[in-house]
Amino acid sequence: MLKRFRIFLLLILMLCLSPIIMGNDTAKVYLPDSLGSSWVYVDQDGNEFTRYAVEEKAIDGDIFRAFNYEPAIEDWEEYKYHIHPFLYQVAEEWVAFYVGKEIENTTKTVLGKRLEEIIAELRQQTAIKLPSGITIDFQHTVKPKAKDFFYLLPTKVTLNQEWIAMQLDVNLKITMDIKGAPVDVSNELKTISSTINVVEKGSIIGKENVKTEAGTFKDCLKIEYRSITTTKTTAASQIKQLLPEQKPNETTTTLWLAPNVGIVKFTSEKEQSEEKTVYKLKSYEIKSDESDISDSN
């Protein structure tokens, strides 16, 4: 009878302590950064990049751990802040990537190209509908403002915990220069303004085994980030009906972090789109903090 009670008590303790075991996993285990360590990633099209752990950097009195990349990231449209941090911190409560400016640069590049496409369509439509002698030219501005940090994960890992990982606000404006009109055109008719809000939430889904070209990694921490994008546009009704329909858009990004290795897999896909980006770890070398000994594959 006593033996059965001990077994029952042991089972109860195991069930009760399972969330605590998750909580004892330190963030440093999932993001090793020993100087000289490197990770090679390959995407679904065979494109590769290498991340290197480099010397820490000080900014305004704060110390940041740092990475460099080869090839250097020159096209902001290809930048992915989930896997391309240059600077980050491990604080008391969070592991956070210092990527606010990079997010803003990426947003400005991507939306700038999108606006050029919209403006080209507007030029085509207005040219057909305008009377002879009247011309319209368009200019645009993109002003993004992101929070400084993307919160990768809490330092005390807890299953099913949810948090706000990233926030971004963007102000867009398209102005029209109208020439040849027989009457003055109000500023309301000459301006299209949009406010875009992006909120991304992270959640720790659990642990999975992941197989890549670099090997099989057990007990990888799986983190899912869901971003909701909403857009509000202000424009005259005559102009607004020419614009494409605006709906909330959702993007799901998933990271798998292997103990003592780091990020081993990344996926990102947009709602109602077949486009999907995948990066997997191809090889890596983790240097020891205490000697020249390294773990590699």
**Over its length of 297 residues, how does the chain's per-residue pLDDT go in tens digits?**
444 445 444 443 344 444 433 433 455 688 888 999 999 999 999 999 999 999 999 998 999 999 999 999 989 999 999 999 999 998 888 999 999 999 999 999 999 998 888 888 878 887 777 788 888 888 899 999 999 999 999 988 888 889 999 999 999 998 888 888 777 777 777 788 889 999 999 999 999 999 999 999 999 999 999 999 998 888 767 666 666 666 668 999 999 999 999 999 999 998 877 789 999 999 999 998 654 445 667
Q: Which residues pair with 253 in a beta bridge?
A: 225, 268
The beta-carbon contacts of 286-290 under 8 Å, at least 24 apart in sequence, are 286/32, 286/34, 286/37, 286/260, 286/261, 287/34, 287/35, 287/36, 287/37, 287/53, 288/34, 289/34
**What's residue 238's pLDDT?**
64
Prediction pTM value: 0.83
**Domain locations in the chain as residue ranges:** 22-296
Measured distance CA(59)–CA(18) in Å, rounded = 39
Measured distance CA(253)–CA(266) in Å, rounded = 7
Measured distance CA(48)–CA(44) in Å, rounded = 10
**What's residue 126's pLDDT?**
77
Contact (Cβ atoms closer than 8 angstroms) between residue 216 and residue 210: yes
**What's residue 56's pLDDT?**
95
**What's residue 225's pLDDT?**
98
**What's residue 105's pLDDT?**
97
> Residue 165 burial (CB < 10 Å; 0-12/13-18/19+)?
buried
**What's residue 7's pLDDT?**
46
